[in-house]
Structure 1
């Protein structure tokens, strides 16, 4: 999977590299993300822009930490052959102010929190969700925990247990 980044209104950092490493880790726990034809984009932007996207596309009039816009249904993703032209998996947008505030509240670095949110967003693009049932949420969280552990990052849900 190739990940394109667009960085606006974020502090200086290795955000492009971070997104690539998060994509590699997500592909290790969700094999469908390892398809070489896949392309995803990650937009590092402001709360204002994410608020606008959230209002326009999800009818929610507030910013949020991460938005995911999948372009492929899960069944189509799973049956996508590895050979052929590039296929857009979808887009992810991260809101700087919300991410920075949440990272501070969790006493973790912005980079670590952004890594978690990119993994979370990529799993959404791959068809995973956490809103319909506790089982669904636990399965998605388990994949996130596993991907982050591959990167040497702590369980972001450890405070829930």
Structure 2
């Protein structure tokens, strides 16, 4: 998939899991990417490429074990194509890999609409490709604030807001 209004090309793969149709997923990805670029002013070379893989927990668990030494599934993994301190990212931005079962369970546990939670994870994964991180408290605060601003542009509530 390559969006006319996007500054990058998006390669989308539904590899495994009970995901919605590819057109619906492509729409969610495009919205998340467009908002992230508009709000975050992400420094990508024009014509860069992003890969988004929709898969299941088993595949993400293997990737997480192989690349992060964590033998468990997680919601989203990002594999950057550029060093985190780059001034301009690309032409290969990297890969975002999303695990269906984990995303479904988290959305249900948190009382979130599935599409809203998935969009948040796509934004989160994309920001990782551009060097954003949350290992330190100050990094986490900046990343969360940017995610919240991007999601607000899409009409999605702050995922980090405290609930009573």
- TM-score normalized with structure 2 length: 0.87
1:109 aligns with 2:113: yes
Alignment correspondent of 2:131: 127
1:5 aligns with 2:12: yes
- The alignment partner of 1:156 has SS state of coil
- The alignment partner of 1:40 has SS state of strand
Conservation of the 8 A alpha-carbon contact between 1:66 and 1:92: yes
Deviation of 1:122 after TM superposition, in Å, equals: 0.3
Conservation of the 8 A alpha-carbon contact between 2:28 and 2:119: yes
Alignment correspondent of 2:46: 36
Alignment correspondent of 1:73: 83
Range 10-19 or range 118-127, more displaced: 10-19
Instruction: Give the helix-richer structure, 1 or 2.
Output: 1
Alignment correspondent of 2:155: 152
- The alignment partner of 1:158 has SS state of coil
Conservation of the 8 A alpha-carbon contact between 2:45 and 2:88: no
Q: Distance in 1 between matches of 2:163 and 2:138?
A: 15
Alignment correspondent of 2:102: 98
Deviation of 1:33 after TM superposition, in Å, equals: 4.6
Conservation of the 8 A alpha-carbon contact between 1:40 and 1:90: yes
Deviation of 1:11 after TM superposition, in Å, equals: 2.9
Deviation of 1:160 after TM superposition, in Å, equals: 6.6
- TM-score normalized with structure 1 length: 0.89
Q: CA RMSD in A?
A: 1.7
Q: Distance in 2 between matches of 1:143 and 1:95?
A: 23
Deviation of 1:55 after TM superposition, in Å, equals: 0.6
| Number of aligned positions between the proteins | 154
Structure 1's unaligned 5+ residue stretches are 81-85
Alignment correspondent of 2:36: 26
Q: Distance in 2 between matches of 1:10 and 1:87?
A: 31
